[in-house]
Amino acid sequence: MTSATAQAQDRGTVPRLSADRVREILIVDDHPLMCDALALTLKISFGLKNVRTARSLAAAVEQIRNQGAPDAVILDLNLPDARGSEGLVTLRRQIPDVPITMISADLENAMISAAMAAGAQGYISKSLGREALVDSLRRMWEGERVTPDGYQPDGDSDEDNARTELARRFASLTPQQMKILRLICQGKANKEISYELSIAEATVKTHITAIMSKINARRRTQAVLLANSVRLFEAG
């Protein structure tokens, strides 16, 4: 399958960047062989000297904090500490002006839509051949929003805009609030969250109040539904 569907720059895109100016890339993927093969391909195809790698979302966040932002990011959909669009939402908060490409074997329409709404510059299949991969990345770094062949957008601009706005609200959560929301989505009670995160139950309640305010939810069940609607924690 080749990546061919390019959408015009619109909401959620990052500033236009020439592919020739991409000199440093961060690959976030927990599969060493995939990560190494992708890094080698990028070095050869784009003449890159510095391809950074991270095996988890937490490692990527820490690396960006310590080493600065790369020119572009390639992000695996499923990581040991993040599934679905959580990784994208987290990195978009940290590096809002850096193009992030989501890469996955999951080509489900709903997941692609969620990733694009959360701010991905593109979404590509792990099964792409080298030439198609390089072409897709070059186009993304030139400003196109690229999705796989066969992807069918919902076609409802109002729904797309609402999903994009919701993703922005989730991006406003602090890391601790994101952890608490993840546990809420797992059905954990406040006492269980308190124990798991080693914080006071009163602190959990304070965070939950802030979470509800930021994402405009009135009840826990509504918060879970909103998180699920943008595939925040679960890819499947």
Residue ending a domain, among 116, 148, 180, is 148
> Are 212 and 143 in the same domain?
no
The pLDDT mean for the chain works out to 87
pLDDT band at 1 (very low <50, low <70, confident <90, very high): very low
pLDDT band at 164 (very low <50, low <70, confident <90, very high): confident
What is the structure's pLDDT at 22? 84
Tell me, yes or no, whether 18 lies in a domain.
Answer: yes
Tell me, yes or no, whether 162 lies in a domain.
Answer: no
> Are 136 and 187 in the same domain?
no
Contact at 8 Å (CB) between 231 and 224?
no
> Are 43 and 138 in the same domain?
yes
Pairing of strands 24-28, 72-76: parallel
Tell me, yes or no, whether 154 lies in a domain.
Answer: no
Domain that holds residue 207: 172-229
What is the structure's pLDDT at 222? 95
Tell me, yes or no, whether 217 lies in a domain.
Answer: yes
CATH of the domain at 215: 1.10.10.10
Work out the average pLDDT over 165-187. 91
> Are 128 and 17 in the same domain?
yes
The residues that bridge with 3 in the sheet, in sequence order, are 148
Q: Is the pLDDT of residue 196 over 90?
A: yes
> Are 183 and 139 in the same domain?
no
> Are 93 and 52 in the same domain?
yes
Could you tell me the pTM of the whole model?
Answer: 0.82
> Are 7 and 94 in the same domain?
yes
CATH of the domain at 46: 3.40.50.2300
> Are 141 and 192 in the same domain?
no
Phi, psi values for residue 3, rounded to 5°: -90, 120
Q: Is the pLDDT of residue 12 over 60?
A: no
- Look at the alpha carbons of 77, 83, 88, 117 in this order and tell me if their dihedral is positive or negative: positive
Tell me, yes or no, whether 75 lies in a domain.
Answer: yes
For 202, counting Cβ atoms within 10 Å of its Cβ (0-12 exposed, 13-18 middle, 19+ buried), the class is exposed
Tell me, yes or no, whether 206 lies in a domain.
Answer: yes
User: 179 to each of 102, 169, 175, 217, how far by Cα in Å?
Assistant: 22, 15, 6, 17
> Are 43 and 132 in the same domain?
yes
What is the structure's pLDDT at 16? 52
Tell me, yes or no, whether 142 lies in a domain.
Answer: yes
Helix (H) and strand (E) counts in the chain: 10, 7
Count of domains in the chain?
A: 2
> Are 199 and 128 in the same domain?
no
Tell me, yes or no, whether 69 lies in a domain.
Answer: yes
What is the structure's pLDDT at 49? 82
Contact at 8 Å (CB) between 230 and 173?
no
Tell me how crowded residue 94 is: count the other CB atoms within 10 A of its CB.
14
What is the structure's pLDDT at 5? 40
pLDDT band at 114 (very low <50, low <70, confident <90, very high): confident
Work out the average pLDDT over 85-99. 92
